[in-house]
Amino acid sequence: MRRALVFDLDGVLLDSEQVWNEAKEKLVRERGGRWRDEAPRTMMGMSSLEWSRYLHDELGVPLEPDAISDEVVRRLEGIYRDRLPLIDGAAEAVERLAAGVPLGLASSSNREIIDLFLELSGLGPCFAVTISSEEVERGKPAPDVYLEVVRRLGADPADSVAVEDSENGIRAARAAGMRVVAVPNPHYPPDPAALAEADDVVGSLDDLTVERVLV
């Protein structure tokens, strides 16, 4: 079986975790819900099915979960079309690595947001497989989304690498049996215990090379 490299999206290629959280917080407050300071970290890695239920059940948004997800996605789409928050070096890293190894994308973002990212960034041709965690049974930290990407790539998890920024993402990739390269999110840095589970830690996407990640 071949090797593969799988990117996370939010916090790795897009500086977007805070954008998602701002959209969710505004919706909660506008609809009379109860925002919690711990909500961003609690939701990190959740699939759209999971975080929309969390906003409904725990934060008191009086909409059905499907409607909550649709409204947050609508707000994100407007922001991204105005300015896609690509992290510095993201496009170059993807193009550089795609030249040497099959690439996948394993994201907690909704399918509509993944497709919009691929369109606006022009990076769609670089990824052989993209999967949203709403398309598998469980979101991160469960390994489902990584296992599905690797399966579709025809790769061996033990010989493949994930690039992650968050504690739930790191744990999901480790649970999938993959090597993990962490690019810690400066806005929501992973817990030190989770970061210690990564096989390598880099300071920026500029440090990602085929030689470094596929040792």
Determine the structural domain holding residue 207 and report its residue range: 5-14+86-213
* CATH number of domain containing 190: 3.40.50.1000
Residue-level pLDDT at 213: 86
How many domains are there within the chain?
2
List per-residue pLDDT tens for the chain, 215 residues long: 689 999 999 999 999 989 999 999 999 999 999 999 999 989 988 889 999 999 999 999 999 999 999 999 999 999 999 999 999 999 999 999 999 999 999 999 999 999 999 999 999 999 999 999 999 999 999 999 999 999 999 999 999 999 999 999 999 999 999 999 999 988 888 889 999 999 999 999 999 998 888 87
Same structural domain for residues 67 and 119? no
Name residues whose C-beta falls within 8 Å of residue 196's C-beta, 6 or more positions apart in sequence: none
**Among 82, 110, 132, where does a domain finish?**
82
Angle among Cα 1, 137, 55 to the nearest 5 degrees reads 135
Distance CA 95, CA 188 (A): 26
93 and 57 housed in the same domain: no
90: left (phi over 0), alpha (psi -120 to 50) or beta: alpha
Same domain, 48 and 96: no
Co-location of 96 and 194 in the same domain: yes
Residues 75 and 109 in one domain: no
Looking at the structure, tell me whether residues 197 and 150 fall in a common domain: yes
Instruction: Give the C-alpha distances (Å, rounded to integers) separating 138 from 109, 126, 155, 176, 215.
Output: 13, 26, 21, 13, 30
The model's pTM is 0.91
Domain with residue 46: its CATH number is: 1.10.150
Concatenating the DSSP letter of every residue in the chain gives -B--EEE--BTTTB--HHHHHHHHHHHHHHTT----TTHHHHHTT--HHHHHHHHHHTS---S-HHHHHHHHHHHHHHHHHH---BPTTHHHHHHHHHTTS-EEEEESS-HHHHHHHHHHHS-GGG-SEEEEGGGSS--TTSSHHHHHHHHHHTB-GGG-EEEE-SHHHHHHHHHTT-EEEE---SSSPPPHHHHTTSSEE-SSGGG--HHHH--
* The last residue of a domain, from among 31, 61, 82: 82
The answer to whether residues 105 and 73 belong to one domain is no
Q: What's residue 206's pLDDT?
A: 95
pLDDT tens, residue by residue, 21-80 = 999 999 999 999 999 999 998 998 888 999 999 999 999 999 999 999 999 999 999 999
Contact criterion met (CB below 8 Å) for 184 and 33: no
